[in-house]
Structure formats: C-alpha cells, structure tokens
Amino acid sequence: MFPTKILLATDGSDSSEPALHVAAEISSRTESGVHIMYVGKDISTPAAYNDPSSKDTDAVKKARELIEQQIQRIEADGGTVAGSNVVPGKNPAKEIVNFTRDEEIGLAVVGSRGLGRLRYAFGGSVSAAVVRDAYCPVLVVHGEA
C-alpha cells in the first residue's frame, strides 16, 4: 500500500526545502527509501558520469555536494536514503518523469516555487509538468511543510 521508492526531486532552492522534510517523514513512517535527484541544465552527460575529459566538473561537484548535504538532512530527520542521481538535462520535468518510469518510483515529492497565476499560465512550472506526466502519484509541497 505504501510506496517502497520515494523520489525527492531537488534543485537546492528554498522552495525545495519543505519537500525534503516531507520526503524524510514519509520515508521514516513507511520504511521506504528516498532517491534524491538533481537535474542540472549546466551539466553535460560526460560530466554526470565522471568522464575526466569533461569541462563541467565544477557543476557536478557542486551538485554532488548539494546532494550530500540533503542526504545528511534526510537521515537526521529519520529517513532512509536509497540512492542519489545527478542527471544532465535541459528539461528537469522530463528527466524527473522519465526517472519515475525507469526506476518504478512509488511516490515523487517535489517543491513548488509558488508562481503567480499569470506567470504560471505563460511559463508553467516543473512541478505542474511532473504532476501531469509522472508515472506515479506526485506530492507537491508548498511553503512550510
């Protein structure tokens, strides 16, 4: 009944912070593992897979440092981290949706920036696209959890 795999899609922003705490709490209560995912628009495929010829190593290093900090916070909140991924991509929503399918994720947890209605109508949001297209239930966490 409860998901065994939870995806926390994060960008390290303030709006993703409440989602981290919610994912950790769900993990703790359901004994599910959290998979942390960071999609980097500035990260190339070779860099994401530690290719030494890549020039994007600084971006990958920062992304991995962010994920390491988030792993520590999830564990401090009582959650269990089952994996982490730095994924290259220009379209974060598409990469998140593909990950939910490929990894058979049971629940995706994402934060929301809280775009106004006008900005949302013109640009949409990553969280809205994930809700629309994901292969699993999606929990969008707004503001304070």
As a whole-number percent, the residues of the chain with pLDDT over 90 amount to: 57
Q: What is the pLDDT of residue 132?
A: 93
| pLDDT of 90 strictly over 90 | no
Digit-coded pLDDT (tens) for 7-37:
999 988 888 899 999 999 999 999 999 999 9
Supply the CATH classification number for the domain 5-142.
3.40.50.620
Digit-coded pLDDT (tens) for 50-81:
555 556 577 778 888 999 999 999 999 999 99
Give dist(CA 94, CA 99) in Å, integer.
Answer: 9
Spell out the domain ranges in the chain: 5-142
For residue 133, give the 3-state DSSP assignment. helix
Q: Which DSSP helix (H) or strand (E) runs through 48?
A: helix 45-48
Tokens of 10: 């994060």
Q: Give the pTM.
A: 0.84
